[in-house]
Amino acid sequence: MTLDTVSTNKAFGGVQGVYAHASAETGTDMVFAVYVPPHAEGAKLPVLWYLSGLTCTHANVMEKGEYRRICAEMGVIFVCPDTSPRGENVPDEEGYDFGKGAGFYVDATEDPWSANFRMYSYITSELPGIIAANFPADMDRQGITGHSMGGHGALTIALKNPDRFKSVSAFAPISSPLNCPWGEKALTGYIGANRADWRQYDSTALIEGGARVPGILVDQGDADTFLADQLKPALLKAACDKAGIPLTLRMQPGYDHSYFFISSFMEDHVRWHAERLG
C-alpha cells in the first residue's frame, strides 16, 4: 500500500507527521497523524491510539492535545486517525452528529452508509497494518484512548480486542450509546432499528455481556454540558463495579467538554498507558 507524506515537523526531538493513503475499507482516501518520539536506531516503541470525537479530524488533537512532550519523554508513538470517511461521493446528512465526521467507530450495515462507513475495521485492521509497516511500532504493546465519541470507540474496541490493546482510557466518553440521543441516532442510522444489534458497540453492554479489560481510566469534567444527557459515566461505573473491572473515574471540577479539558489531563493518560505498555 502506498503511503503519502503530507507533512513532517520536528517536535521535542521526534517527528510529527501527517500521512494519506487510499483505504480499501472505506473506499476513500484517508488522512491520519503519527508522532514518533526520539528513539535509538532499531528500537520498537509502544503505540497509543487516540480516537477523536464528533466533527473532528486528525488535526484537532494534533494541534490542541499537547501530547508530544510527554510522548517524547515516555517513548510512546501517538496515532491520530480521522473520525469518518470523507469525499464527494461519501453519503452525508445535515447535522454534526451523523455522517461525515461522525463515523462512531462502527461498521455500518445499512444503506447507503455500509459502502464507506467501516471505521471499526479501519481502526482495528487496516490502519494497524499501515502503522506496523511504516513506523517503528511494537504492535504487541498497544494502548487506546479517545474523547467523547472517540472515548466510546476506545472503550468498545479495547473490550472487543483485549489481547491486542493492553491498556484503555477515555476522556468524557459516551458510556452507553444505547441510552443517549447521540447513540440512538447513530446506531439506528448505521446498524438499523434492532437494538440488540447495537450492543456490540456499547461499552456498558459489552461489560454486562462478559467483556473484560484489566482496568480503565476515565476523566470527566463536571461542568460538561453533555454529561447528564449524552455521556452518563455512572452507567459505565455500575457495569464495571458489578463485573469487578477496576475503573478510575475522575470527576474534574469546573472542566467542560473541550480540548482545554483534554490537554489538561493528557499527560496523566500518556503516563498511565506507558506504565502498562512497558
pLDDT at 102: 98
The answer for 230, left when phi > 0, alpha when psi is -120 to 50, beta otherwise, is alpha
| Dihedral sign of CA atoms 132, 137, 51, 12 in order | negative
Separation between Cα atoms, residue 56 and residue 105, nearest integer Å: 13
SS3 199: helix
pLDDT at 182: 98
- Specify which residues 21 forms β-bridges with: 30
SS3 229: helix
136 closest CA partner among 269, 38, 11, 272: 38
State which amino acid sits at residue 126: E
Question: Pseudo-torsion of CA 192, 194, 199, 200, nearest 10°?
Answer: -50
Distance from chain centroid for Cα 126 = 15
33-49 residues labelled b (16+ CB within 10 A) or e (exposed): bbbbbeeeeeeebbbbb
State residue 138 phi and psi, 5-degree precision: -95, 100
pLDDT at 89: 94
Which residue among the candidates 107, 224, 269, 273 is catalytic per the annotation? 224
pLDDT at 266: 98
Active site residue 224: yes
Active site residue 163: no
76 closest CA partner among 137, 154, 156: 137
State residue 18 phi and psi, 5-degree precision: -125, 135
Which residue among the candidates 58, 147, 257, 273 is catalytic per the annotation? 257
Asked if residue 112 has a cis previous peptide bond (ω within 30° of 0), the answer is yes
SS3 62: helix
CATH of segment(s) 4-277: 3.40.50.1820
State which amino acid sits at residue 212: R
Count H helices and E strands in the chain, helices first.
9, 9
Active site residue 257: yes
Structure pTM?
0.98
Which residue among the candidates 148, 169, 175, 176 is catalytic per the annotation? 148
pLDDT at 1: 72
Could you identify the residue written with the cell 440512538? 184
pLDDT at 246: 98
* DSSP code for 147: B
Tens-digit pLDDT string for the chain (278 aa): 799 999 999 999 999 999 999 999 999 999 999 999 999 999 999 999 999 999 999 999 999 999 999 999 999 999 999 999 999 999 999 899 999 999 999 999 999 999 999 999 999 999 999 999 999 999 999 999 999 999 999 999 999 999 999 999 999 999 999 999 999 999 999 999 999 999 999 999 999 999 999 999 999 999 999 999 999 999 999 999 999 999 999 999 999 999 999 999 999 999 999 999 99
Separation between Cα atoms, residue 157 and residue 201, nearest integer Å: 8
* DSSP code for 42: T
Q: Which grid cell is 83?
A: 473520525
